[in-house]
A and B are shown apart, each in its own frame.
Chain A
Amino acid sequence: MSVSSPQFNTQWGTSSSNRQARQLHLVSRGMTLVTGLATFFVIAILLTVLADIVYHGWSALSWNFLFSGIGTDSFESGQLGLLPMMIGTVFKVFLMTLVVMPVGVITALYLTEYANPQSLLTRMIHSAVNNLAGVPSIIFGLFGWGFFIKFMGVGLDEAFSPNNPEPVWGKPAILWASMTLAIMTLPVVIVTTEEALKSLPDGLRYASYALGASRLQTLFKVLLPQAMPGILTGAILAIGRAAGEVAPLLFTGAAYYTAAYPWKLNDEFMDLGYHIYILATQSPDVENTTPVAYATVLVLLALTLGLNLMTILIRARIRHRYKQYQAVDG
């Protein structure tokens, strides 16, 4: 279809092509408006969700609620504070980070700095990373149960404490939950680190080699420090994702209620996200738990969105620096 221009119409001017031009102009304006409205609507939804949670959550939030300890029951809204869930969430995320960061960063380093991009192994790793990112979170839960608890945990128990009637490792535990989350967030770390390394100009590498540095020295002294903001972004994204994820924890370690803080690797733990699910769906006394649930949601949301905002800021800074590189290179 041809798109007629107004100038031509005045020259060759027939009234029908004039009308057509006007119609096209209207369609064009209308569709711009429609897509703009779609954008506006999406942002409005986002703001509505945030506003509702902040509005209802803020009034139920207090220092005492945030930093008080364990009550006697999951639903005793007056007594139970968020401290156990926050400790559980932080502990879980910490363990996960310890595992996922080295594995993810080394994978990305291998892919960008060592591997031949056309080799079968590289392509296999890339497609595995892609597919891992799309596996539903509940499948990670099933996997965590089948692999970590029933295979590794039970295996450890049979090897080291065969006479112990209580399972030590072959049960849901914070370690297994964190490992499951680590596998789930691995693609995030790999992809962001890869991007960070790829965006470094080759000039950096050549300059380092030209000064006589070995490959390892270049890696540790030049590339990694330069890519640090990008790697940090990956870590924060992974933490943000893991902090709010509930489905993989259902069978691997999150507890309805624990009387003590988790401080051993094989303890079960209370988790902010799982606690929201419990408060929202299992409460016998909805009236009283709703404000508490809102406050819990607010805390989780502040945590995850805060982390996300941080990545946006870091990325803006990286982009700024990348522009400087381009200026130098060009």
Chain B
Amino acid sequence: MDKLFELGMAGIASSATIFIFLIFLFVVKEALPVFLGHVDTSKGGEILSPDQLERMNPGDVKEYLELTNEQYRRLDQDALRLMMEVKYQAAQDMATDPQAGLNTASWEHMIFPYQWTGYEQPGYIWQPVSSVPKFNLIPLLIGSLKTTLVALLFATPLALGAAVFVSQLCPSRFREWIKPSIELLAGIPSVVLGFFALMVLAGFLDRVFGVQTQLNASVAGIALGLAVIPIIFSISEDALSSVPRHYSESALALGSSPWFAAWKVVIPAAFPGIVAAIVLGFGRAIGETMIVLMASGNASIVSWNLGDSTRTMTATIAAEMAETVFGDPHYRILFMLGVMLFVITFCSNWIAGVVIQRLKHKMEAAG
């Protein structure tokens, strides 16, 4: 009986492991054809004249018009004929554009610039809804990195300064209320931070710096920074506090001031933990959705200018999933963005986890 109970518990306890595996599986599953190069935007297939409808069997019609069973059941013969006409007409129009035959979902077009008709020079274009959909990932990657960089540049000095102050320099009666209040920042939902960025921060930065577009990478980045501060703070504060007391006490006994004891002894000892905190902050910043969706302006431009509006990978998924058709190239590429994000955050978490674990062992051994 007890054995059975234990087995059941082990089963339930493995669910976290199973879920992380399932998440990877199901996000990758939808994106796999893109990775393998099986998605082809040029493959319109054979275009049939609408008059052939009478001679086709239902299965072929369904496949040709890309309908699901339930959609097909709701359509009568006239509606089907209309759909065939629309498709026929679209194919006729497409034939005039020489780029219609390109497979824009190939790796070549997702990474390298291309001379699109109507553009002055070869460019990195993300324009998924268009007669020739363009899926270049570079603008989104730059957008994500840009906002993340701003967030880290803003958050790291503040969070580390606060962590050193709280764990090493300030009297303990202050620590007891400073620590929870900084951690309270983590309790603010990201949609609220996004709202604050949109309503207050954007106007404030505009007044101070006078940028071209009110919603831009720096507004989103600073708001992201607010979400990242509590993470960097609490993890580096933990790392600093885990350094055994006798380390800093020895330094103090030798006549060092509290700051130099922290700077020369405690911070070097806790350094891996501080790096881990920044890595985790990076993972959080690059994966954050609502803040960038609301405050970044969402224009997919290739530019490192922090005053330009920008579009990140997460915001792209959030904004465009609703307009995709299940299984089409756009849908699969959005899932591929998801896979990329998953891999990036998984790696940063894993690295940070290993570093923190090692530090903990070392400090326990030293203490």
Contact = CB atoms under 8 A, between A and B. Distances in A.
Chain B associates with chain A? yes
Interface of A: 1, 3-5, 7-8, 24-25, 27-29, 31-32, 34-39, 41-43, 45-46, 49, 52-53, 102-103, 106-107, 109-111, 114-115, 121, 124-125, 127-143, 145-147, 150-151, 165-167, 183, 186-187, 190, 214-216, 240, 243-247, 250-251, 273-274, 276-277, 280-281, 290, 293-294, 297, 300-301, 304-305, 307-309, 312
B257 interface: yes
Contact of A142 (B182, B184, B317): B317
B229 A42 contact: yes
Given A28-B257, A32-B258, A216-B2, A146 B26 contact: yes
B200 interface: yes
Contacts of B260: 3, 24, 28
Residue among B19, B314, B341 facing the most chain A CB atoms (10 A cut-off): B19
A143 B27 contact: yes
A139 B294 contact: no
A49 B196 CA distance: 7
Contacts of B26: 142-143, 146-147, 151
A38 B157 contact: yes
Interface in B202-251: 226, 229, 233, 251
B158 A38 contact: yes
Contact of A301 (B181, B188, B293, B334): B188
B43 interface: no
Contacts of A111: 13
Interface string B1-24: 010011001101111110110110
Nearest to B18: A128
B162 interface: yes
B104 interface: no
A42 B349 contact: no
Contacts of B256: 3
Contacts of A250: 318, 321-322
Given A130-B353, A304-B188, A136 B13 contact: no
Contacts of A31: 259, 263
Contact of B16 (A41, A129, A246): A129
Contact of A107 (B13, B191, B342): B13
Contact of A110 (B12, B187, B233, B322): B12
Interface in B42-95: 70, 73-74
Interface residues of B, number: 92
Interface stretch (B107-115, B123-131, B165-173, B303-311): B165-173
Given A301-B192, A305-B188, 13 more contacts: A37-B161, A38-B162, A42-B185, A128-B19, A138-B314, A142-B334, A143-B23, A147-B23, A166-B70, A247-B289, A273-B191, A273-B290, A276-B191
Residue among B294, B342, B350 facing the most chain A CB atoms (10 A cut-off): B342
Interface string B173-206: 0000010111011011111111110111000000
Contact of A139 (B198, B200, B287): B287
A52 B196 contact: yes
26 contacts: A3-B255, A28-B257, A39-B165, A42-B182, A49-B226, A52-B199, A107-B12, A107-B15, A121-B14, A132-B16, A134-B283, A138-B341, A139-B342, A146-B27, A146-B30, A147-B26, A150-B326, A190-B16, A216-B5, A244-B188, A245-B189, A274-B191, A281-B294, A297-B195, A301-B188, A305-B188
Given A42-B158, A134-B346, A297-B195, A115 B10 contact: yes
Given A45-B226, A127-B353, A281-B294, A134 B188 contact: no
B162 A165 contact: no
Residue among A35, A273, A304 facing the most chain B CB atoms (10 A cut-off): A35
A137 B258 contact: no
A106 to B, nearest CB: 5
Residue among B10, B30, B280 facing the most chain A CB atoms (10 A cut-off): B10
Contacts of A240: 187
Residue among A29, A109, A143, A151 facing the most chain B CB atoms (10 A cut-off): A143
A184 to B, nearest CB: 10
A103 B12 contact: yes
Residue among B12, B198, B326 facing the most chain A CB atoms (10 A cut-off): B12
